[in-house]
Amino acid sequence: LIPTAANVAIGGRVLSAPNAVFRARVTLTDFNGESRSVLTNQFGYFRFDNLEAGGNYVVSVKHKRLFFASQVVRVVDDLTEVNFFAEP
């Protein structure tokens, strides 16, 4: 698929079973190297709006006490279940 002018969103949740992770830094990086970050809310949710449809992104999470594996996502439509679970 070729990227279009349409805008989509990526969202999800950061968890450390069974609890939500508050104030984790979620970073979205496109394949041009441009990044933006948000902090999770008190329920562990995050969201990035106004993304180019058809784009590939690396989503990573940083927290002072927990480790999370990064994910590569291709966005064709809104994604609402890009969830991260703390590694043991």
pLDDT tens, 76-87?
Answer: 999 999 999 999
DSSP state of 68: -
Neighbours of 74 (CB within 10 A): 11
The whole-angstrom separation of Cα 77 and Cα 58 is 16
- What mean pLDDT comes out for the span 7-29? 96
Please, what is the average pLDDT of the chain?
94
Strands 45-52 and 84-85: unpaired
Q: Determine the Cα–Cα distance for residues 38 and 51; give it in Å rounded to an integer.
A: 14
Return the pLDDT at 88.
Answer: 84
Place of tokens 């291709």: 74
pTM: 0.91
Residue 71 has a CB neighbour count (10 Å cut-off) of 15
pLDDT at residue 36 above 80? yes
